[in-house]
Amino acid sequence: MADPVLRVENLTKLFGGLAAVNDVSLDLHLGQVHAVIGPNGAGKSTLTNLISGELTPTSGSIRYLAHGEGEFDLAGLSSDRISRLGIGRSFQKTNIFLPFTAFENCRLAAQSRQQRAWRIFRGASRYADVNAIAEHSLQSAGLAERGQVNAAMLSHGEQRQLEIAMCLATQPRILLMDEPLAGMGPQESLRIVALIRQLAAEHAILLIEHDMDAVFAVAHCLTVMVNGEVIESGTPQAVRASAHVQQAYLGEAHGDTHD
């Protein structure tokens, strides 16, 4: 297999005495969805936050092979720097700009890729390239018709879609998606699953998800976490067959977990 674009090695995060992430290693490859599953409190979001720079690891490394820019250890870099390096994330708990329209949320996200902050006399809405990216990401997430609605007025499910659209608008190479389907209706879930599969062709995706049908539909690789530790990792078929995982998680969880 080709070299991974992102390699997490022996990553640990302690909160006081609690090891929320404990010696976790995993790889992300372009063209693949790597799903991480596990019960509540397993450390999945903490793992995402460590990679995205929201949290600083206690130990371990996160090596990123940036496009044409060489290799970086992301551990300790700020979240904005990591985002600009091409790693985008969506949040488990919807995190959007409520007073802005859905379009403006995405436009702002797309603006982050342009170094034009010094052009203080040009209206922000007058960059055709940025607007096009914003429109396109709204459309991909199924919000094409809702651009002019204030984010606060969107339904819970639509806000979840907007969360994903904003991540897309930053045009990342690596997507970290923290439970993108949680709180979405079945129709929208199908759309997003299809979107993830389509994005996988050109991106590397870390997908955290409780919906096992979705996970097994898109994942190329599957890691199971419990209490901060990886208990199994491999192809979805292999992990499904593992007695260890059956007992620890999948058996009771399949199909019915959602928060």
52 lies in the binding site for Mg ion (CB under 5 A): no
Chain residues 84-113 in contact with ligand ATP, contact rule CB under 6 A: 92
Do the Cβ atoms of 94 and 74 come closer than 8 Å?
Answer: no
150 lies in the binding site for another protein (CB under 8 A): no
Pick from 98, 132, 144, 153 the residue near another protein by CB under 8 A.
98
Minimum CB distance to another protein, residue 112 (Å): 4
Bridge-based pairing of strands 18-28 and 6-15 is: antiparallel
Pick from 54, 131, 216, 254 the residue near another protein by CB under 8 A.
54
99 binds, among Mg ion, another protein, ligand ATP, none (CB under 5 to 8 A by kind): another protein
65 lies in the binding site for another protein (CB under 8 A): no
One DSSP character per residue, 151-166 reads GGGS-HHHHHHHHHHH
40 lies in the binding site for ligand ATP (CB under 6 A): yes
Do the Cβ atoms of 120 and 133 come closer than 8 Å?
Answer: no
Do the Cβ atoms of 219 and 207 come closer than 8 Å?
Answer: yes
| Spatial distance between the Cα atoms of 222 and 239, rounded to a whole number of angstroms | 7
Q: Residue 45 or 83: which CB sits closer to ligand ATP?
A: 45
92 lies in the binding site for Mg ion (CB under 5 A): yes
Do the Cβ atoms of 94 and 163 come closer than 8 Å?
Answer: yes
Residue 252 region by backbone torsions, left for phi larger than 0, else alpha for psi between -120 and 50, else beta: alpha
Pick from 5, 6, 8, 20 the residue near ligand ATP by CB under 6 A.
20
| Choices 21-29, 93-101, 183-191, 197-205; region in contact with another protein by CB under 8 A | 93-101
Closest by Cα among 228, 231, 232 to 50 = 228
20 binds, among another protein, ligand ATP, Mg ion, none (CB under 5 to 8 A by kind): ligand ATP
Q: Note the residues at the interface with ligand ATP (CB under 6 A).
A: 15, 18, 20, 38, 40-46, 92
